[in-house]
Structure 1
Amino acid sequence: MTSTPPSPAQRPLSQRVRIVLPAILAGLSMLGPFSIDTAFPAFAAIQRDFGVGTDGTQQLVSAYLLSFAVMSLFHGPLSDALGRKPVMIGGLAAYGIGSIGCALSPNLLVLLGFRVLQGLAAGGGVIVSRTVIRDVYDGPEAQRLMSRVMMIFSIAPAIAPVIGGLLLQLGPWRVIFWFLTGVSILLIALVAFVLPETHPAELRVPFSPRPLLTGLRTISGSLTFHRVAWAGALAFGAQFLYIGSAAIFVVDLLHRGAQDFWMFFVPMISGVALGAWLSGRLAGRVSGRRLVLGGQLFGVAGAGVNLAIALSPVGATLPYAVIGPGLVAFGSAVAWPTMQLIVLDMFPATRGAAASALTFIPLVLNAVTAGALAPFVTRTVGTLAATCLAMTVGGLAMWMWHLAESRRVAMPEPVTIEGAEPLPD
């Protein structure tokens, strides 16, 4: 992992803030999976109320992700210009309004519209919270905090559908969106009154279109950035393929009910938590590049095991069907904290823009996966597993390309002295 000297923003934090900072940042990151996974148990009820099928409710995932992806390009640059807290608070407030609209929607079209508003707003907390980590910490300490936040964050996809199922016992599906409204209000309070501003005025870029877009253009034009970003996006996409199609995987392929999503999410998220824990433990002991390579290789091996199980007679039965996704998630979680820091350190003056660009690529990939790819590859557990393996192999190939290019660039050019005989190899 490339390390940069501490910036003026890296000021000492009080002991109280140090204790609660991982929980606050994880809470902000958890808003993303909560927005997706809490609603999964309600899909059947929404289909009955609005007279739509599985493809209709699946668009509730892709509409949220696509809008999140589009706006994700702007949350980071805005935080570079305005500061981290204003962007987070504004985004959370708009997210709360979107959640209220979802709860009051009279039909699927209106519900999709407010899901778009949720997606446009959620990145204010999700994306900018990652930048805060690099604002205040450096090197192995930043990696440990990123891993700790990911460990806490990993709980969200496991408990979100469980909470959604419990909320359905208390009332109609709309109560889930009232719950998300309450979550946004709680996060606004924590950011406003506990979280310090980590991007001081003297480090901010001018608030005008040209410098904001220049940062994004510089990042998007970097081939090094794309190699790392796509390596992470494909590895995480293999995991998200199962998350985004959980309603199909659990109900249609495994023949379970609305209260059974935990049987899938608990093993998978356990893999994420264990992988993030290992990443934090190895911070400063193993080089970032080797750590990422190990995680990517493990993910490919796990996807291979997953395909072998899927093609066996027990491929569509529990607990065998969820072993492979858990292994893939473990490998991704080992690599992802370090990959995020590698990208943030590529562009120290515009970390917010870097975080936005890094988020945009997997979001678009995940949105396409959930909305367009999932309906075709979820016909059997075998086709789902084969697609997962292809994505992990793609991620590993991108990382190997990055390593090869890094070694080539770092290798000094040979010095030729006129008239001298070449040295033997």
Structure 2
Amino acid sequence: MTPPEHRHHVGTTIIIAMLGMIGPFTIDSMFPAFAQIGREFSVDTVALQQLTSVYLVSFAVMSLFHGPISDAVGRKPVMITGLLVYALASVGAALAPSFGVLLVFRAMQGLSAGAGQIISRALIRDLFHGAAAQRLMAQVSMIFAISPALAPVVGGWILLVGNWRLTFWFLVAFGLLLCVLVRFGLPETHPHQRRVPLRVGTLLRGLAQVMGNRVFLRLGFASAFAFAAQFLYISAAPIFIVDLLGKGEQDFWIFFVPMIAGMMTGFFLNARLAERVPGRRLATIGYVVAISAGLVNVALSALPSAPQLPWAVVGPMLIAFGVALSFPVVNLVMLDLFPSLRGSAASGQSFMQLMLNAALAGLVAPMVTGSVLQLALGAACFSLAGFGMWVWHLRAVPADATAGQVVVA
């Protein structure tokens, strides 16, 4: 018979992973509907990309506040409030009479969606320590990794039975389901005695302490640039799949399934190796794999036969594997820099990542999607930048630096 504590751990893992899915589902489930939205509102591809970038900018700005507020009032109240607002914003998007109104409600989705997704990272570190925390982070990430592959497929299925507005009604239901799961399925992991005063000055000082730390910024850029190599393909998926590969609205799985398989394999190995391989070494291996994959991707994309399947998706799959191998380690190190301000640290992580993702979706992706080779070169540059920041960190901070000690090297 399964012990109660094991069932509780499994349930917590699944709920935290589902909270992480809200971002990919909000972004990726819309991709198959872009053509319908464009026709209904008479807008072009560049304007449609703003459905992603507006959401990400709003998400990034508000991400600075979700974590600090949770440090003051607890994790669950912030998550539940955010999920309720997210559901209401999705209702507004489903009923939007114009493209401008749709963008407004996409911004509202971004302002609220991070409450669950961001704070769940701090919740992991509240519950577990050391290798156990790394294992849980990897397990959660492995489940979460399914969502970027599943979301566009679900979005395509929805279009078989309704129009693009039905996609937003699906997000309403998803937000309300998460709200119920958080309310009844998660513990409050930030007790009253560990909370900071709910004063604007105190919250801003804590956030400034996090964002002003050089080690935190270095690690943040190392993680953000590495993931950017993968997210560049995700944000450009409508162009990559439909325009460059010549596929249809139900064919997004051709790209997302291999890429997510790479991610899940990387997270699985990270969880299995948590107590066997030092975290710094494991992260370094991940960065080396991502760079090597980026170069292989460029070589494949330069072939005279490009774009051609399956070679067009091999590079992104291997990049995703390398990123997944390093991601849990780097993010836990960032959280451990500020044991009493984990919410603020989680917010800082997300802000850096999301601002870069917004720039990728709104500015970079339209510039590098003229060919599969341009896209591959862009991804390789981000992989190299992430690796460079990680090497800088390795040289600046000794391997035996005390966990939880704020360093400024």
Bin for the TM-score computed over the shorter chain: over 0.9
Instruction: Tell me the amino acid that sits aligned with residue 166 of structure 1.
Output: W
Q: 2:392 aligns with which of 393, 401, 416?
A: 401
Q: Is the 8 A contact 1:62 1:370 kept in 2?
A: yes
The equivalent residue for 1:274 is 265
The equivalent residue for 1:284 is 275
For the residue of structure 2 that corresponds to 1:292, the secondary structure is helix
Aligned pairs for 1:300-379 within 5 A: 300-379=291-370
Q: CA deviation at 1:318?
A: 1.1
Q: Is the 8 A contact 1:268 1:327 kept in 2?
A: yes
Instruction: Tell me the amino acid that sits aligned with residue 172 of structure 1.
Output: N
- C-alpha distance in 1 between matches for 2:74 and 2:136: 21
Q: CA deviation at 1:313?
A: 2.1
Structure 2, unmatched stretches of 5+, are 402-409
The equivalent residue for 2:142 is 151
**1:104 maps to 2:85:** no
Aligned pairs for 1:171-320 within 5 A: 171-320=162-311
- C-alpha distance in 1 between matches for 2:374 and 2:400: 39
Q: 1:27 aligns with which of 5, 18, 24?
A: 18
Deviations 1:250-273 (A, max 9, x none): 011111100000000000011110
| Distance of aligned partners of 1:408 and 1:269 in 2 relative to their CA distance in 1, 3 Å threshold | closer
- C-alpha distance in 1 between matches for 2:301 and 2:196: 51
- C-alpha distance in 2 between matches for 1:178 and 1:409: 50
Instruction: Tell me the amino acid that sits aligned with residue 155 of structure 2.
Output: G
Q: 1:40 aligns with which of 31, 37, 42?
A: 31
For the residue of structure 1 that corresponds to 2:124, the secondary structure is helix
Q: Is the 8 A contact 1:314 1:321 kept in 2?
A: no
For the residue of structure 2 that corresponds to 1:349, the secondary structure is coil
Instruction: Tell me the amino acid that sits aligned with residue 304 of structure 1.
Output: L
Deviations 1:331-373 (A, max 9, x none): 0000001111100100000000000001110100010011011
- C-alpha distance in 2 between matches for 1:66 and 1:253: 27
For the residue of structure 2 that corresponds to 1:348, the secondary structure is coil
Q: CA deviation at 1:220?
A: 1.0
Query: What is the aligned length?
Result: 398
Q: 2:81 aligns with which of 81, 90, 102?
A: 90
Q: CA deviation at 1:407?
A: 3.2
Q: CA deviation at 1:17?
A: 2.0
- C-alpha distance in 1 between matches for 2:399 and 2:163: 59
- C-alpha distance in 1 between matches for 2:115 and 2:315: 33
**1:62 maps to 2:63:** no
Bigger Cα displacement from structure 2, 392-401 vs 16-25: 16-25
Q: CA deviation at 1:210?
A: 1.3
Q: CA deviation at 1:241?
A: 0.2
| Distance of aligned partners of 1:409 and 1:272 in 2 relative to their CA distance in 1, 3 Å threshold | closer
Q: CA deviation at 1:284?
A: 1.4
TM-score when scaled to structure 1?
0.92
For the residue of structure 2 that corresponds to 1:407, the secondary structure is coil
Instruction: Tell me the amino acid that sits aligned with residue 135 of structure 1.
Output: D
Q: CA deviation at 1:409?
A: 9.8
Q: CA deviation at 1:408?
A: 9.7
Q: CA deviation at 1:15?
A: 3.9
Instruction: Tell me the amino acid that sits aligned with residue 313 of structure 1.
Output: P
- C-alpha distance in 2 between matches for 1:53 and 1:194: 43
- C-alpha distance in 1 between matches for 2:332 and 2:386: 17
Larger Rg: 1
- C-alpha distance in 2 between matches for 1:60 and 1:49: 15
Q: CA deviation at 1:56?
A: 1.1
For the residue of structure 1 that corresponds to 2:397, the secondary structure is helix
**1:129 maps to 2:120:** yes
- C-alpha distance in 2 between matches for 1:19 and 1:359: 25
- C-alpha distance in 2 between matches for 1:342 and 1:409: 13
- C-alpha distance in 2 between matches for 1:154 and 1:44: 26
The equivalent residue for 1:165 is 156
For the residue of structure 1 that corresponds to 2:398, the secondary structure is helix
- C-alpha distance in 1 between matches for 2:6 and 2:326: 29
How many percent of aligned residue pairs carry the same amino acid? 52
- C-alpha distance in 2 between matches for 1:301 and 1:38: 30
CA root-mean-square deviation: 1.1
Q: CA deviation at 1:285?
A: 1.0
Q: Is the 8 A contact 1:17 1:195 kept in 2?
A: no
The equivalent residue for 1:420 is none
Deviations 1:130-175 (A, max 9, x none): 1110001000000000000000000000010000000001111100
Q: 1:387 aligns with which of 351, 371, 378?
A: 378
Instruction: Tell me the amino acid that sits aligned with residue 226 of structure 1.
Output: L
Instruction: Tell me the amino acid that sits aligned with residue 193 of structure 1.
Output: F
| Distance of aligned partners of 1:408 and 1:83 in 2 relative to their CA distance in 1, 3 Å threshold | closer
